[in-house]
Amino acid sequence: MPDQLIFAMEVILNGLMAGVLYALVALGFVLIYKASGIFNYAQGVMALFAAMTLVGIMNGQVPFAHLINAIFGTHIHYFGWNVPALLAILLTMAVMVFLAWAVQRFVMRHLVGQEPIILFMATIGLAYLLEGVADLMWGSEIKTLDVGLPQGINLWIDETTFNIFGYGFFIDNLDIVATLIAALLVAALVVFSQYTKQGRAMRAVADDHQAALSVGISLNFIWIMVWSVAGFVALVAGIMWGTKSGVQFSLSLIALKALPVLMLGGFTSIPGAIVGGLIIGVGEKLFEFAIGPMVGGATENWFAYVLALIFLVFRPQGLFGEKIIERV
């Protein structure tokens, strides 16, 4: 087999793995959009916030230490204990549920019935607010996150492919774990929304707010639940990305990368988010591999958006989205 083709295969495999991570973030968007029609720009910052909270709890950092020190002139930074990863993840989840409640109570409840674009802008404001709070709580320096996920090159794949092609593929263990977890998460979400009482209620709310209200579904509860689930997805995405590239501000920018994924897949479709993520992941890696060197590299920065833009011109509702019907 020619070398170029083997390299391309490795690029495609890595692209698929990256695509899964994009899809993880995109899932959070789809959930909230389906249930409340809100396009939640803050999803990426939620992932950052979750990852920072997790690191902070694991290291026993004092929340708002910098602020407290600045106001009272004290020098506290750490409680002096370390929390085991599993317990820290549970505590972080509790924080995300609280966040979901706060968002619902103080922001979204007051904006019910506003135009979608106003809601979108409100979530941009929420993203800024949350980012500032996260930085104030835990400090803005780059942190490493290690919850015990395997990392580094997968030797088995390396050896197997070396025996077949005479060239060992480089696949990160973390990416494989991420793929498995994403698959599990999607399966769990599908089961949840199809077969549980709360999941059905969630779909009912997505279908028609007023009809759902009139059969006795509490909108308030469903929305808090949806934001909590989105917080959970954000936590998973935050752990994956945080382990991969450190917990830092750029983590929140993956939300922007998730947007073209959503546009390709359609805002309302969970499978769409997965397929869109894979297309974008493979597409941008292949494009960078094939065309990138000719035009100066770093095409990953824009390829996804331009691909989505061109795609949308031909199919405005995305691959799996519901057909947009407009009436006067």
Partner 1 sequence: MFYREAGDFKVSYVDDSQTFPIKFDRYRYYVVLAVAFGIIPFIINDYWANALLLPFLIYAIAAIGLNILVGYCGQVSLGTGGFMAVGAYACYKLMTAFPDVSMFIHVILAGGITAIVGVLFGLPSLRIKGFYLAVATLAAQFFLVWLFNRVPWFYNYSASGQINAPERDVFGIIITGPNAPAWATYLFCLIFLTVCAVIARNLTRGTTGRTWMAIRDMDIAAEIIGVNPLKAKLTAFAVSSFFVGISGALFFAVYLGAVEVGEVFGITKSFLVLFMIIIGGLGSIFGSFAGAAFLVLLPVVLKVVGADMLGWPTDIVAHLQLVIVGGLIIMFLILEPHGLAQLWRVAKEKLRLWPFPH
125 binds partner 1 (CB under 8 A): yes
The structure tokens listed for 157 are 């794949």
Query: What would the DSSP string read from start to end of 9-27?
Result: HHHHHHHHHHHHHHHHHHH
Cβ neighbours of residue 176 under 8 Å, at least 6 residues apart? 17, 154
Burial level of 304, CB count in 10 A (0-12/13-18/19+)? Answer: buried
* Interior angle at CA 128, CA 274 and CA 116, nearest 5: 60
Site for partner 1 in 30-49 (CB under 8 A): 39
CA distance 63 to 49: 13
Instruction: Name the minimum Å distance from CB 318 to partner 1.
Output: 8
Instruction: Name the minimum Å distance from CB 174 to partner 1.
Output: 26
Cβ neighbours of residue 7 under 8 Å, at least 6 residues apart? 289
Q: State which amino acid sits at residue 163.
A: N
The single residue among 107, 147, 204, 319 that binds partner 1, judged by CB under 8 A, is 107
The single residue among 129, 149, 157, 286 that binds partner 1, judged by CB under 8 A, is 129
Cβ neighbours of residue 127 under 8 Å, at least 6 residues apart? 41, 42, 44, 45, 252, 255
For partner 1, what does the binding mask look like between residues 61 and 100, x meaning CB under 8 A? -----xx--x------------------------------
Instruction: Name the minimum Å distance from CB 135 to partner 1.
Output: 4
Length of the chain: 328
Burial level of 129, CB count in 10 A (0-12/13-18/19+)? Answer: middle
326 binds partner 1 (CB under 8 A): yes
Site for partner 1 in 255-314 (CB under 8 A): 256, 259-260, 262-263, 267, 295-299, 301-302, 305-306, 308-309, 312-313
* Nearer to partner 1 among residue 67 and residue 86 (C-beta): 67
Q: How many residues touch partner 1 (CB under 8 A)?
A: 52
For partner 1, what does the binding mask look like between residues 241 and 260, x meaning CB under 8 A? ------------x--x--xx
Residues that bind partner 1 (CB under 8 A): 39, 66-67, 70, 107, 110-111, 114, 116-118, 120-122, 124-133, 135-136, 140, 253, 256, 259-260, 262-263, 267, 295-299, 301-302, 305-306, 308-309, 312-313, 316, 324, 326-328
